[in-house]
Amino acid sequence: MASGFFALLDDIAAIMDDVAVMTKITTKKTAGILGDDLAVNAEKASGFVSSREIPVLWAITKGSLLNKLIILPLAFLLSAFVPVAIVIILILGGFYLAYEGAEKIYEFIVPHPKTVKVDLNENLTKAELLEAEQKKIKSAVLTDFILSVEIVIIALGTVVDEPLVTQIIVVSIVALIATVGVYGIVALIVRMDDLGLRFINKSNGGKGFLFNIGNFLVKALPIVIKSLSVIGTIALLLVSGGIFVHNVEFMHHFLEQIPAILRDFIVGLIAGIACLLLVSAVKALLPKKKEAH
């Protein structure tokens, strides 16, 4: 009996060792999506009254956890009974990521009318404020759902050949990191300007170390969010290109002579441009809605 117990412990240790290795690999694979997730949610969580930022962010975080609870069981069922579906969803997700990355580049290069953002400030009534908050929370949770599907499928695609127990543990850990890690960093980012203002108020008449740090944090916030957006766009194309290169057989030897990171970016960009042209063509063919007079 004792030997059986120690054999069980040895098996558990071996499984946990495999889990640690696979979690590290899988986290690297999903890092691009996590970067974009961070950029998107930092933008979604900004624009609220200072006192409402954390409660709103907590509401989005709970929505994100609920998304994972819905997505994970479905993904594991597909992996167990229809494993080929994981690769198909992975490739479809790759096209979505490529399209999103190409669209962001297109919107940056080609001038287009900017949408007017509603600032959630103290001038709104309590009812209007709550309604505006709920709309932004729902939008953020929906975006999180789409990104969560991509994260889970990419993570599952990395360990699809592993035993089901390893798949469940690894993907669940990555999904938890995706929520706790991303929204924890988002909370720090959106509070940067408030921390900066506190330092400025505590400074000696607008001088000294605290004033300089506070001024830096206030000015750095929009730069950080914009930088995350750029990094996230590049990451989208890299991740999507990597999906195609590793999962589409005839692309395994495509542009082998150049560095893998550059190859993935080029493949992702080509796929993104193709998707963008296709979507634009479909939109052009659809009848336009008549404006109400």
- Write the DSSP symbol of residue 25: H
In a domain, 254, yes or no: yes
Number of domain units in the chain = 1
Q: Determine the pLDDT at residue 116.
A: 42
Predicted confidence at residue 216, as pLDDT, reads: 85
pLDDT given for residue 31 in this prediction: 57
Number of Cβ atoms within 10 Å of the Cβ of 114: 7
pLDDT of residue 276: 94
Tokens in use for 83? 């494993």
Looking at the domain assignment, is residue 291 inside a domain?
Answer: no
pLDDT at position 115: 47
Length of the chain: 293
List helix spans (H) across the chain: 2-44, 53-81, 83-109, 126-158, 164-190, 192-202, 208-247, 260-285
> How distant is the alpha carbon of residue 74 from its chain centre?
20
User: Is 293 within a domain?
Assistant: no
> Is 56 part of a structural domain of the chain?
yes
Six-digit token pair at 182? Answer: 């991303």
Which amino acid, one-letter code, is at 21?
V
Within-domain flag for 290: no
Note the pLDDT tens digit of each residue in 84-128: 888 888 888 889 888 988 998 998 888 665 544 444 455 556 676
Domain interval for residue 220: 2-285
| Confidence at residue 138, expressed as pLDDT on a 0 to 100 scale | 83
Report pLDDT for 232. Answer: 75
Determine the pLDDT at residue 1: 47
Q: What is the DSSP letter of 124?
A: S
pLDDT along the chain (293 residues), means of 10: 42 47 54 62 61 77 89 86 83 86 88 52 64 78 79 78 80 83 78 81 75 84 79 81 83 82 91 94 78 45
Helices (H) and strands (E) in the chain, counts: 8, 0
Distance CA 56, CA 61 (A): 9
Residue 292 belongs to a domain: no
